[in-house]
């Protein structure tokens, strides 16, 4: 299929240029061109292109439309968060194709949009060619007014002109369909790149100072580490660009020759593994990572974002938080055993026979009432604490810090329920600062 | 001159193909029907008679055309309207107002649109009207005065009629039906809808004013008719400039519809749905494959097009996941099996995955927890897992309860098709208890 030029009206050199610009996407380009047809022919009212992130949906569509000089408007739904912005952007992009028509459009509703569009398409050259409206991140359209998505799907019929709307999205079409149905678009899948294709594309931006083969080796090693976790082309390109200087370091020093792939692999592989834990997760910013490489510091020496979890809290707040954690992760029936001085004998059996599923650290925090929090708080704090307004305001300020959350917003004053939303590590660090052995009080670790 | 004429008779192959594309694309994309609508003669006669009575005799009517999507409601109406407007004495005597429930989302917009379509903007000008009904009455009054001899009749066509029933108090519908019952201006209200229970949406007072005339488009076409429909959509018209090419093309189409493999595919689509639109989707894809080097439609083209039409989109998405994400999905599948479809959180999935890594697999899959969380969030973004409670409930992302939106068979099939799937992952997926 790719060797046939689908339509004689398109210049051969344009098609060749497209092929060069869009590697590994020949099939999709020719499918897209055959769907578009000749400029003056009708195309299908709506096309939905779906596929994974970074599979070239936007890039291919935009390049094809630009290279063939087809009249089109390109909008991203993330930018246009109200219908009005969406309409105005489409109209102003289309009218800018024809400079004679230059005015501010005021349209609030789909009705106005269609009316202005009709005027535009009858008074212009627009009606001789298919006009394309490309809507990127089309999944946002579902959450806007209910008439927008069906309206755009049958825009051709509503306007009565030669219009095709192209939706680009990551989500499958089944999740778009409104419950009273709509005009079905032509579905078009952009397949993910295979490993070989990824390699081919990544090798394109090689470093001019080094040979092709060396860069190909480097990409091969990089894919070997990251391919099982990440197939996002953008992410991989970014990682490739970041770590290449480290890869060439032994070469520049003259320790290793280019042909000695094994030694190069040995030097870069641990470095890449470290990158997965830091740069890939955005723990360390790319700039910091590059600086670390330049100064030859031990990578990973810098503390990442997640290392800054330590929060300084007042003394009673700490105890309140600990009490909340205990109340969240311990069942209420064990309170007597943990916090009462003269509790009776516990049956050993209940503690030994614990199913995994019942472990609270697997299921997450349970909600607890305020009274229980206070009871545990008073029993773990040694000194006598008066229940002043301060204590209660500290509880509500813990809620605003999102260390606690209020569950069920029904009752603010009378017996509110809370959940503790901090991690195990965090609470252990806090308990250590007040010399409280929290693990001894946790039911799961008994 | 004669030379030119002979040239016109036989176009070059490129021009022929281009013309074929033009004709067929117009037919498929903008529903320009060739000839009469198919199998709805009775309904057409009924509707035509009704509208004629409004226009000629000044009788007010209301009717609802009900049928599933893609069964030719608009096509029926359009063919009736063209027939009606083609008649003598009628053309200047009737005004058509077309409204669409998608565009006129409330009554104010609808009223403005009616004013615009009746060309009454200059009359209304800056006048402020008291009530909605007054406004509408004025509109129709103005219509009466416009033509001195006799009042012109108005056809109101309400597409997506069920959406109009969601307007506040159904004022527009009430007034339209009320005028059709009482006022003198002859109007016909034609509603098109795909909801069978549309009458239940109407208020009692609105319902009582509606004439309860319904035209149902629930086609009872069988497979033989479906094949004829398929043929009819692809045949070139009589007035195609290049006679010999058209002859050849039509011959091929007739031959095609008798082909066994084509019949099988058509049967498959017929069993899925009988409407025009899904047939058009198939034909559009077939048409895309017609080029200069591929002049005629072959059964292979249809097979390929049908394959593209019926692809499972979730399987496609699963195909592009990374191995880690696939492992998480398998872990979720196991949780689903063991706990019988109970919702689960990330911590449980991670625990399941850890068990697999420690016992079964070699340590290659031993990724740190944040990396796994990132993979989990990607699944979330692709909407393969759905959170059980709304986004307003604030909880750590490890403990948010989610549900898997995939079927077991889908997962197993995706595993089969997955390129270079590690064997231990495959075995883990197959084993019932992890």
**DSSP 8-state symbol, A10:** S
Q: Locate the chain B residue with the closest alpha carbon to A407.
A: B393
A:B CB pairs within 8 Å: 169
Tell the burial category of A308 from Cβ atoms under 10 Å away from its Cβ (0-12, 13-18, 19+): exposed
**DSSP 8-state symbol, A53:** T
How far does Cα A332 stand from its chain's mean position? Answer: 38
Block residue for tokens 């104010």: B108
**DSSP 8-state symbol, A205:** G
Q: Locate the chain B residue with the closest alpha carbon to A231.
A: B322
Looking at residue B341, its pLDDT comes to 85
How far is the C-alpha of B239 from the C-alpha of A246, rounded, in Å?
71
Q: Do the beta carbons of residue B304 and residue B357 sit within 8 Å?
A: no
> To the nearest whole number, what is the mean pLDDT of chain A?
84
Mean pLDDT of A322-338: 89
Mean pLDDT of A158-182: 91
Indicate which of A40, A52, A152 best probes the interface with B, i.e. most B CBs within 10 Å of its own CB.
A52
Tokens, residue B331: 């872990």
Give the gyration radius of chain A's Cα atoms.
31
**DSSP 8-state symbol, A350:** H
Looking at residue B144, its pLDDT comes to 63
Looking at residue A75, its pLDDT comes to 95
Cβ contact B317–A172 (<8 Å): yes
Tokens, residue A410: 């029904």
Q: Do the beta carbons of residue B318 and residue B414 sit within 8 Å?
A: yes
How far is the C-alpha of A152 from the C-alpha of A176, rounded, in Å?
13
Looking at residue A344, its pLDDT comes to 60
How far is the C-alpha of B185 from the C-alpha of A376, rounded, in Å?
80
Residues in B closer than 8 angstroms to A43, CB to CB, are 25, 29
- Angle, alpha carbons A48-A53-A57 (nearest 5°): 45
Q: What b/e string do you get for B265-280 counting C-beta neighbours within 10 Å, with b at 16 or more? A: bbeebbeeebbbbbbb
Q: How does residue A318 score in pLDDT terms, banded at 50, 70 and 90?
A: very high
Query: SS3 for B110?
Result: helix
Interface predicted TM-score of the whole assembly (ipTM), two decimals: 0.91
Residues in B closer than 8 angstroms to A230, CB to CB, are 322
Looking at residue B434, its pLDDT comes to 44
Looking at residue B187, its pLDDT comes to 87
Q: Which domains does chain A have, with CATH numbers?
A: 12-189 (3.40.50.300), 195-307 (no CATH), 315-445 (no CATH)
Q: What b/e string do you get for A226-238 counting C-beta neighbours within 10 Å, with b at 16 or more? A: bbbbbbbbebbbe
Question: Of A41-50, A115-124, A149-158, where does mean pLDDT reach its minimum?
Answer: A115-124
Question: Of A30-44, A112-126, B27-41, B48-62, where does mean pLDDT reach its minimum?
Answer: B27-41
B288: contact with A, CB 8 A cutoff: yes
Give the gyration radius of chain B's Cα atoms.
30
Indicate which of A1, A2, A8, A114 best probes the interface with B, i.e. most B CBs within 10 Å of its own CB.
A8
Nearest to A9 by CA among A130, A94, A120: A130
Tell the burial category of A82 from Cβ atoms under 10 Å away from its Cβ (0-12, 13-18, 19+): exposed
**Strand bridging mode A186-190 / A404-407:** unpaired
Looking at residue A293, its pLDDT comes to 78
pLDDT higher than 90, residue A57: yes
Q: How does residue A125 score in pLDDT terms, banded at 50, 70 and 90?
A: low
Give the DSSP letter string of B287-328: HHT-BTTB-S--HHHHHHHHHHHT--HHHHHHHTS-HHHHHH
Tokens, residue B276: 């025009």
Tokens, residue A83: 């219908």
Q: Quick: pLDDT tens for A222-268.
A: 998 899 888 999 999 999 988 888 888 888 888 888 888 888 888 88
pLDDT by residue, tens only, chain B of 434 residues: 333 334 445 678 888 888 888 888 888 887 766 666 677 888 899 999 999 888 888 888 899 999 988 888 888 898 899 888 888 777 677 889 999 999 999 888 898 888 888 877 666 555 656 677 777 777 777 766 655 456 678 899 999 999 999 998 898 899 889 888 876 678 899 999 999 999 999 999 999 999 988 888 876 678 888 898 888 888 888 888 888 889 999 999 999 988 899 999 999 999 988 888 888 899 999 988 888 788 888 899 999 999 988 888 999 999 999 999 999 999 999 999 988 888 999 999 999 999 888 887 665 678 889 899 999 999 999 999 999 877 666 777 888 889 999 999 999 999 999 988 888 888 888 886 54
Q: Quick: pLDDT tens for B389-431.
A: 776 667 778 888 899 999 999 999 999 999 888 888 888 888 8
Tokens, residue A434: 């007040």
The percent of residues in chain A predicted with pLDDT above 90, rounded, is 37
Q: Do the beta carbons of residue B68 and residue B218 sit within 8 Å?
A: yes
**Strand bridging mode B402-404 / B385-387:** antiparallel
Looking at residue B36, its pLDDT comes to 63
Give the DSSP letter string of A213-243: HHHHHHHHHHHHHHTTT---HHHHHHHHHHH
Cβ contact A50–B26 (<8 Å): no
Q: Do the beta carbons of residue A53 and residue A170 sit within 8 Å?
A: yes
How far is the C-alpha of A189 from the C-alpha of B22, rounded, in Å?
26
pLDDT higher than 90, residue A349: no
Q: Locate the chain A residue with the closest alpha carbon to B159.
A: A158
Looking at residue A176, its pLDDT comes to 93
Q: Compute how many other C-beta atoms are within 10 angstroms of the C-beta atom of residue B106.
A: 15
Looking at residue B265, its pLDDT comes to 92
Query: SS3 for A142?
Result: helix
Mean pLDDT of A76-89: 92
Query: SS3 for A47?
Result: strand
Q: Compute how many other C-beta atoms are within 10 angstroms of the C-beta atom of residue A12.
A: 9
Mean pLDDT of A292-303: 66
Cβ contact B288–A35 (<8 Å): yes
How far is the C-alpha of A102 from the C-alpha of A93, rounded, in Å?
11
Cβ contact A229–B322 (<8 Å): yes
Looking at residue B420, its pLDDT comes to 86
Indicate which of A28, A228, A300, A401 best probes the interface with B, i.e. most B CBs within 10 Å of its own CB.
A228
- Nearest-CA distance from B339 to chain A in Å? 10
How far is the C-alpha of A360 from the C-alpha of A444, rounded, in Å?
7
Nearest to B426 by CA among B412, B407, B405: B412
Looking at residue A5, its pLDDT comes to 45
Nearest to A416 by CA among A437, A396, A439: A396
Cβ contact A51–B313 (<8 Å): no
How far is the C-alpha of B255 from the C-alpha of B297, rounded, in Å?
10
Cβ contact B347–A364 (<8 Å): yes
């Amino acid at each position: 299929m790719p060797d046939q030029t689908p339509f004689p009206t398109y210049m051969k050199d344009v098609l060749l240029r497209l092929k060069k610009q869009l590697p590994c996407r020949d099939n999709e380009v020719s499918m897209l061109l055959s769907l578009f047809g000749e400029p003056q022919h009708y195309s299908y009212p709506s096309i939905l292109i779906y596929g994974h992130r970074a599979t070239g949906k936007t890039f291919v569509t935009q390049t094809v439309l630009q290279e063939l000089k087809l009249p089109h408007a390109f909008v991203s739904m993330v930018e246009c968060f109200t219908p009005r912005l969406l309409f105005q952007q489409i109209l102003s992009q289309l009218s800018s194709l024809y400079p004679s028509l230059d005015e501010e459009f005021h349209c609030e509703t789909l009705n106005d949009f269609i009316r202005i569009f009709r005027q535009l398409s009858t008074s212009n050259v627009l009606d001789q060619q298919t006009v394309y409206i490309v809507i990127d991140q089309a999944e946002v359209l579902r959450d806007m007014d209910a008439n927008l998505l069906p309206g755009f799907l049958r825009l051709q019929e509503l306007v009565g002109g030669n219009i095709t709307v192209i939706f680009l999205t990551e989500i499958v079409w089944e999740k778009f369909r409104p419950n009273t149905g709509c005009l079905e678009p032509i579905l078009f899948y952009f397949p993910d790149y295979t490993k070989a294709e990824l390699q081919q594309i990544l090798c394109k931006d090689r470093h001019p100072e080094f040979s092709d083969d060396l860069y190909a080796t480097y990409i091969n090693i990089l894919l070997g580490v990251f391919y099982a976790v990440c197939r996002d082309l953008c992410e991989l390109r970014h990682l490739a660009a970041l770590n290449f200087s480290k890869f060439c370091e032994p070469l520049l020093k003259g320790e290793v020759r280019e042909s000695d792939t094994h030694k190069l692999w040995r030097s870069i592989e641990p470095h890449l593994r470290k990158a997965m834990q830091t740069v890939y997760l955005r723990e360390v910013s790319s700039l910091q990572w590059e600086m670390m490489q330049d100064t030859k510091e031990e990578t990973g020496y810098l503390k990442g974002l997640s290392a800054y979890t330590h929060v300084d809290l007042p003394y009673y707040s700490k105890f309140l938080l600990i009490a909340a954690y205990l109340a969240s992760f311990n069942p209420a029936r064990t309170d007597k055993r943990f916090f009462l001085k003269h509790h009776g004998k516990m049956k050993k059996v209940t503690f030994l026979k614990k199913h995994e599923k019942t472990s609270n650290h697997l299921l997450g925090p349970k909600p607890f009432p305020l009274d229980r929090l206070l009871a545990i708080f008073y029993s773990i704090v040694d000194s006598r604490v008066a229940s002043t307004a301060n204590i209660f305001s500290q509880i509500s300020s813990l809620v605003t810090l999102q260390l606690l959350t209020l569950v069920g917003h029904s009752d603010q004053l009378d017996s509110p329920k809370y959940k503790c939303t901090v991690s195990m590590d965090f609470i252990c660090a806090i308990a250590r600062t007040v010399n409280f052995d929290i693990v001894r009080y946790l039911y799961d670790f008994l | 001159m004669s030379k030119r004429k002979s040239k016109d008779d036989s176009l070059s192959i490129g021009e022929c193909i281009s013309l074929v594309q033009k004709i067929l694309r117009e037919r498929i994309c903008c529903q320009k029907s060739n000839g009469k609508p198919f199998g709805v003669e009775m309904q057409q006669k009924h509707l035509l008679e009704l509208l004629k009575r409004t226009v000629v005799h000044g009788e007010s009517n209301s009717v609802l055309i009900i049928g599933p999507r893609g069964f030719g409601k608009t096509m029926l109406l359009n063919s009736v309207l063209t027939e009606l407007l083609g008649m003598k004495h009628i053309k200047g005597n009737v005004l058509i107002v077309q409204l669409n429930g998608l565009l006129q989302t409330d009554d104010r917009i609808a009223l403005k649109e009616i004013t615009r379509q009746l060309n009454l903007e200059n009359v209304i000008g800056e006048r402020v009207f008291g009530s909605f009904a007054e406004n509408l009455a004025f509109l129709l009054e103005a219509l009466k005065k416009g033509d001195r001899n006799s009042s012109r009749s108005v056809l109101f066509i309400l597409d997506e009629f069920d959406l109009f029933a969601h307007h506040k108090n159904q004022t527009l519908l009430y007034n339209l039906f009320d005028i059709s019952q009482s006022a003198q201006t002859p109007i016909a209200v034609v509603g098109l809808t795909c909801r069978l229970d549309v009458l239940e949406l109407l208020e009692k007072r609105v319902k009582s004013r509606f004439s309860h005339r319904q035209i149902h488009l629930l086609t009872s076409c069988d497979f033989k008719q479906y094949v004829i429909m398929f043929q009819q959509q692809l045949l070139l018209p009589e007035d195609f400039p290049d006679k010999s090419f058209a002859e050849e093309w039509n011959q091929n189409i007739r031959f095609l519809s008798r082909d066994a493999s084509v019949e099988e595919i058509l049967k498959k689509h017929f069993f899925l749905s009988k409407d025009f639109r899904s047939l058009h989707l198939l034909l559009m894809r077939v048409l895309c494959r017609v080029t200069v080097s591929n002049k005629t439609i072959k059964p292979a083209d249809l097979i390929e097009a049908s394959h593209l039409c019926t692809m499972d989109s979730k399987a496609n998405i699963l195909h592009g996941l990374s191995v880690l994400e696939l492992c998480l999905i398998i872990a979720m599948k196991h949780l689903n099996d063991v706990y019988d479809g109970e919702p689960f959180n990330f911590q449980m999935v991670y625990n399941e995955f850890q068990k697999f890594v420690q016992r079964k697999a070699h340590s290659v899959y031993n990724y740190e927890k944040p990396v796994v969380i990132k993979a989990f969030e990607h699944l979330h973004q692709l909407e393969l897992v759905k959170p059980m409670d709304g986004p307003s409930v604030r909880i750590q992302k490890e403990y948010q309860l989610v549900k898997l939106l995939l079927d077991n068979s889908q997962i197993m099939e995706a595993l089969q098709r997955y390129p270079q799937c590690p064997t231990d992952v495959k075995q883990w997926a197959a084993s019932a208890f992890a």
